[in-house]
Structure 1
Amino acid sequence: MYRPFKASTDYELLVLLREDNEAAFEEIYRRYFQKLHSLAKRRINNVQHTEDIVHDLFLNLWVSRQKIQIDTLQNYLMRSVKYRVLDELDHQTVKQKFADYQSFTPQISNTTEENILYSDAMKLYEENLVFLPDKCREAFLLSRSGLSQKEIAAKLGISENTVENHIAKALRLLKTRMAEFINPNALFPIFFFLFEK
């Protein structure tokens, strides 16, 4: 297949992308899809979820092409897929903890009410993650996905003490903003276990 921009630099492709050039977008997709897919697959053991993450990243790139601020295309894409993977892992962790909670908690009769509460809690949780500083959010999400503080420190290139401080800061903020959902004495304390250290 003919690729008119195969020899173009990333910078040139970005300029063309902002001018709504679909061929430039296709070249970016061809150039980086496999790299991003491989990066995501290292952490997510689900081919469909991995593909969805990468496709969604490229869709967002196209939709935001005229306003997105990118200095280095490769760094932007790698960083974006990393955060999407962290979000996916965190979402999976929340779902598992909720399932664990349900397994030993008497079921309420109104399952619709429970589902609505869970949906509201998840939305609030994800909204509040945005308020965390980048490193703080990343350390917290990694800790929720099962990594030890030592592993997180090595991954982020920071000290274990800094990791501990980031996690503690995240927990303080989230617990304050989500008190109604994490109180163990509440009617539906579905997020109590998520915020255990």
Structure 2
Amino acid sequence: MKMIADDLKLLKGMEEDDNSSFKAIYDKYSKALFLYAHNVIKDRAVCEDIIQEIFISLWAKRKTNKITSLKPYLFQAVKFKIFNHFRDNKFSREDLTRLNIIDVSMNVSQKLEYSELDQIIRDHVAKLPKRCRHIFVLSRYHHKTNKEIAEELEISVQAVKNQISKALAFLRNNLQLEEAIAIALILLN
């Protein structure tokens, strides 16, 4: 909770044009966001551009943003930018392999909107067993580490890993081929 309170304080400072608050947010999250993007897009320059765009937007909208939880907001912004990158650029065979998408014959140029993909994923996640779903949501939507989840739920890190693996296997097996691009969004580490 302290982390969320600290973030809200920084957001408030940024809203009041405090450059040091913005720099503190950047210093706190930029490296993790870059690594998150780089796990999918193995192009350093593209990842740097994505992170830069997110922080430029964060600053530009500082007076109108109604962010209540900064970390999930920033990671969701990265997911959105990654999706846009893949939507706007043709997938290479290497990209498809890296994302564990087996059927490369699907039409990746479909004009699916991010919100539609997100809803498809959420619908499938809702079908997971309760405990598995809870752990998956903490991991992928709240961007908590396995250790943080284990401590919060008072279970072992291995139990967390097992539940996440179970969730990912379920999602891989239940997503239809035309939804396979959604895997790119949920498999981000």
TM-score when normalising by structure 2: 0.52
2-side partners of 1:90 and 1:137: how far apart? 17
Q: CA deviation at 1:68?
A: 1.4
- Assess, with a 3 A threshold, how the Cα gap between structure 1 residues 133 and 46 changes in structure 2: closer, same or farther: closer
- Assess, with a 3 A threshold, how the Cα gap between structure 1 residues 86 and 138 changes in structure 2: closer, same or farther: farther
Q: CA deviation at 1:26?
A: 1.0
CA root-mean-square deviation: 3.5
| Alignment partner of 1:44 out of 41, 46, 54 | 41
What stretches of structure 1 of length at least 5 have no aligned partner?
1-7, 98-121, 140-150, 171-197
1:1-197 equivalence runs, <5 A: 9-93=6-90, 125=111, 129=113, 132=116, 134-136=118-120, 154=168, 158=171, 160-161=173-174, 163-164=175-176, 167=179
2-side partners of 1:44 and 1:138: how far apart? 23
- 8 Å CA contact 1:53–1:81 kept in 2: the answer is yes
| Larger RCO (CA within 8 A; separation ≥ 6) | 2
The amino acid across from 1:154 in the alignment is: L
Secondary structure in structure 2 of the residue aligned to 1:132:
helix
1-side partners of 2:71 and 2:48: how far apart? 18
- 8 Å CA contact 1:36–1:78 kept in 2: the answer is yes
- 8 Å CA contact 2:80–2:114 kept in 1: the answer is no
- 8 Å CA contact 1:136–1:166 kept in 2: the answer is no
Q: How many correspondences in the alignment?
A: 120
- Percent identity reads 25
Q: CA deviation at 1:89?
A: 2.3
The amino acid across from 1:132 in the alignment is: E
What stretches of structure 2 of length at least 5 have no aligned partner?
94-108, 124-164, 183-189
